[in-house]
């Protein structure tokens, strides 16, 4: 007998099927000598361990049985071609199939009945799938998780929806940061700045594998505080992903913004995704992202109100907002115009003068130890941690106190990062005070030459070193370039038209 339990039929347990088939065997005076079982396996696939053993033994010349018992046709398969192939193999080898829930009729009616039941099984499977996908999509639209584990750095938090079903309160799950959150944030922020994974992993003593780190980077929008669903293609029954690609194009992702506390900024998330989409590391990765790799300005191109233009085929696309029309612009036209303007800007004496003036202005904005309040908070946190640790050592159950310690340690680590960042900014401002105009001019000329000579995909990286963002107004297609020129770290200024400075991110 063959037994299969599934998530779609929780009322049909393995034990209940076994009792029913033992009764059927007794009625037919059959002795059960083998049992094949698949627990919580989908009938949509023939790649079930128990089913595969059954199929192998069916074809074996040493087989000792001539009948297979099933509870109903859906236990065999919800795919008609799988059921029909199995029936054909059984008939060819003289093996009878009996179904406890299917009435016996004459041979002609039996063929019709089997075909109808197989079709109903497949329809049920397809309807269940559609309803499941629709339910997950609705969860995402409401800001809840669609299922699955929490990504590293977060934990699942159960929340009440206010609804009641069958006398039970209906709950959903959302994300909240856990004790790994600060480390995950530090890693992702460093990767967004372009630092290599081995270096970050070594310097932060990260214990996670490289495959886990890459998965975290692909999940960048989740770490920016958004709920994301439908990123992955379907898995083939025999392994691998449909179409040979794991990730769907980004315009097929379902994104609900601002559903949980972020660990990184939206800009950092876009930088991470652009690095992955334009990566040349490995032919497989390159093939999977090839559809998006030709968009030179993806991640940099925005509207004046902060929305992102997305790379789509041979265009940049802006999705609809509040029922309004979307907008498309030709990729090559925008890429060419922007690159030409950047090269022209960098050949301008006005641009060099403005950049030099911005460097001097930055050096004069020094504040007297503006990290002092954070240092005081870090000192107070250290005292609280010591107190909580002493209390934990005295308690029979130290778990609550240790959870408090973990919370305080996470906050202290975040503050330490901010203190280090402020110290680095102070050092850069000090260095800018000694920068000469000739040094600024040499820096700009070097970047101009690299931009003029670089080929894709290296040109993308060069542009990211020189440009903070590019605003393209969908109403009139006016474009403005906001520069970020590396000088030890970065200093921000706006395009030569007016030379208004851009606030640091």
**pLDDT tens-digit series, residues 57-77:** 988 888 999 999 998 888 887
Cα-trace Rg, the chain: 31
Q: Which residue has the higher pLDDT, 77 or 432?
A: 77
Q: Is residue 167 part of a domain?
A: no
Give CA–CA dist 464/484, Å, rounded. Answer: 8
pLDDT at 36: 93
pLDDT of residue 372: 80
Predicted pLDDT of residue 284:
37
Distance (Å, whole) CA 8 – CA 75: 12
Q: How many CB atoms lie within 10 A of CB 457?
A: 15
Q: Which domain holds residue 70?
A: 2-136
Q: Does 276 fall in a domain?
A: no
Q: Which of 93-97, 158-162, 303-307, 391-395 has the lowest mean pLDDT?
A: 391-395
pLDDT grade for 435, boundaries at 50, 70 and 90? confident
Domain presence at residue 445: yes
For residues 385-411, average pLDDT: 75
Q: What is the CATH number of the domain that holds 25?
A: 3.40.50.1390
Tell me how far apart the alpha carbons of residues 497 and 350 are, in angstroms, rounded to a whole number: 10
Record the tokens describing residue 157, joined without a space.
Answer: 């938090």
pLDDT of residue 195: 87
Question: Given 3-state DSSP classes, what are the helix, strand and coil percentages for the chain, each rounded to the nearest 5?
Answer: 50, 15, 35
Q: Residue 480: what pLDDT?
A: 93
Q: How confident is the model at residue 501 (pLDDT cuts 50, 70, 90)?
A: very low
3-state secondary structure 23-84: HHHHHCCCCCCCCEEECCCCCCCCCCHHHHHHHHHHHCCCCCCCEEEECCHHHHCCCHHHHH
Domain-ending residue, one of 100, 115, 136: 136
End-to-end alpha carbon distance in the chain = 66
**Is it the case that residue 487 has pLDDT exceeding 50?**
no
pLDDT at 102: 79
Give the tens place of pLDDT for each residue, 258-301: 888 999 999 999 999 888 876 544 333 333 333 334 688 877 88
Q: Among 97, 117, 136, where does a domain finish?
A: 136
Nearest residue to 358 (alpha-carbon basis) of 503, 477, 189, 248: 503
- 387 domain-assigned: yes
Is the pLDDT score of 414 beyond 70? yes
Which has more pLDDT, 430 or 390?
390
DSSP states of 383-431 = HHHHHHHHHHHH-SS-HHHHHHHHHHHHHHHHHHHHHHHHHHHHHHHHH
Q: How far is CA 240 from the centre of its chain?
A: 18
Q: Of 120, 136, 152, which one is at a domain's C-terminal end?
A: 136
Encode pLDDT of 312-367 as tens digits.
878 898 877 665 667 899 988 898 899 888 888 888 888 888 888 887 776 665 55
Cis peptide preceding 457, ω within 30 of 0? yes
Number of structural domains the chain divides into: 2
Give how far the C-alpha of residue 318 lies from the chain's centroid of Cα atoms, to the nearest Å.
21
Q: What is the pLDDT of residue 456?
A: 61
**Strands, E assignment, 219-287:** 227-229, 254-256
pTM > 0.85: no
In DSSP terms, 482 is beta-bridged to 469, 494
pLDDT digits (tens, 9 = 90+) for 132-153: 556 566 667 777 877 678 889 9
Residue 250 lies in a domain: no
Total number of residues shown for the chain: 505
Residue 233 lies in a domain: no
**In terms of Cα–Cα distance, which of 154, 160, 156 is closest to 224?**
154
CB atoms under 10 Å from CB of 388, counted, come to 20
Helix (H) or strand (E) holding 480: strand 479-485
Let me know if residue 215 belongs to a domain. no
Task: Give the SS3 label for residue 401.
Answer: helix
> Nearest CA to 21 among 4, 45, 38, 9?
4
pLDDT tens digit string along 79-113? Answer: 766 777 788 788 888 899 898 887 766 555 555 55
Q: Tens digit of pLDDT for each residue in 215-263? A: 899 889 999 999 887 776 665 544 455 555 666 777 777 788 888 899 9
> Which two structure tokens, joined as six digits, stand for 36?
């094949």
Question: Is residue 34 situated within a structural domain?
Answer: yes
Tell me, what DSSP letter sits at residue 255? Answer: E
pLDDT digits (tens, 9 = 90+) for 447-478: 777 777 766 656 777 787 778 889 999 889 99
Give me the mean pLDDT over the 394-410 stretch. Answer: 74
pLDDT at 505: 32
Strand duo 310-312 + 301-302: pairing: unpaired
Report helix, strand or coil for 416.
Answer: helix
The secondary element (H helix, E strand) that includes residue 493 is: strand 491-494
Q: What is the DSSP letter of 175?
A: E
CA-wise closest residue to 311 among 328, 333, 325? 328
């Amino acid at each position: 007998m063959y037994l299969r339990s599934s998530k779609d039929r929780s009322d049909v347990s393995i034990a209940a099927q076994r009792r029913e088939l033992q009764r059927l065997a007794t009625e037919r005076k059959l002795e059960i000598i083998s049992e094949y079982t698949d627990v919580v396996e989908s009938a949509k696939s023939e790649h079930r361990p128990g089913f595969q053993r059954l199929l192998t033994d069916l074809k074996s010349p040493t087989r000792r049985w001539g009948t297979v018992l099933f509870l109903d046709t859906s236990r065999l398969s919800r795919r008609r071609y799988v059921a029909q192939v199995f029936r054909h193999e059984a008939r060819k080898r003289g093996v009878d199939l009996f179904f406890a829930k299917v009435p016996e009729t004459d041979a002609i009616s039996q063929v019709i009945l089997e075909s109808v039941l197989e079709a109903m099984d497949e329809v049920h499977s397809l309807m269940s799938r559609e309803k499941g996908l629709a339910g997950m999509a609705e969860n995402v639209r409401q800001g809840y998780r669609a299922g699955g584990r929490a990504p590293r750095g977060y934990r699942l938090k159960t929340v009440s929806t206010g609804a009641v079903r069958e006398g039970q309160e209906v709950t959903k799950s959302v994300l909240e940061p856990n004790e790994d959150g600060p480390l995950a944030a530090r890693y992702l922020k460093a990767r967004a700045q372009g630092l290599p994974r081995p270096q970050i992993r070594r310097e932060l003593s990260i214990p996670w594998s490289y495959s886990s780190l890459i998965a975290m980077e692909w999940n960048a929008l989740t770490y920016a505080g958004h709920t994301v669903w439908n990123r992955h293609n379907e898995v083939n029954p025999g392994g691998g992903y449909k179409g040979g690609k794991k990730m769907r194009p980004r315009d097929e992702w379902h994104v609900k913004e601002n559903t949980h506390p972020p660990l990184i900024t939206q800009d950092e998330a876009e930088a991470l995704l652009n690095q992955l989409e334009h990566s040349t590391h490995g032919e497989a990765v390159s093939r999977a992202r090839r559809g998006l790799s030709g968009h030179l300005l993806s991640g940099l191109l925005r509207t004046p109100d902060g929305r992102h233009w997305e790379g789509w085929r041979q265009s940049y696309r802006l999705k609809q907002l509040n029922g309004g029309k979307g907008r498309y612009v030709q990729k090559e036209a925008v890429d060419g115009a922007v690159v030409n303007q950047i090269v022209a800007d960098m050949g301008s004496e006005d641009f060099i003068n403005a950049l030099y003036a911005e460097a001097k202005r930055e050096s004069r904005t020094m504040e007297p130890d503006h990290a002092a309040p954070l240092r005081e908070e870090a000192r107070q946190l250290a005292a609280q941690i010591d107190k909580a640790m002493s209390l934990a050592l005295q308690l029979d159950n130290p778990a609550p106190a240790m959870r408090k310690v973990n919370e305080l340690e996470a906050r202290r680590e975040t503050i330490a990062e901010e203190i280090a960042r402020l110290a680095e900014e102070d050092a850069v401002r000090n260095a800018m005070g000694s920068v000469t105009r000739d040094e600024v001019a040499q820096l700009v000329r070097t970047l101009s030459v690299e931009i003029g000579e670089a080929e894709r995909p290296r040109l993308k990286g060069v542009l990211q070193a020189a440009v903070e963002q590019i605003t393209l107004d969908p109403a009139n297609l006016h474009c403005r370039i906001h520069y970020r020129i590396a000088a030890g770290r970065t200093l921000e200024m706006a395009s030569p038209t007016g030379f208004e400075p851009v606030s640091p991110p």
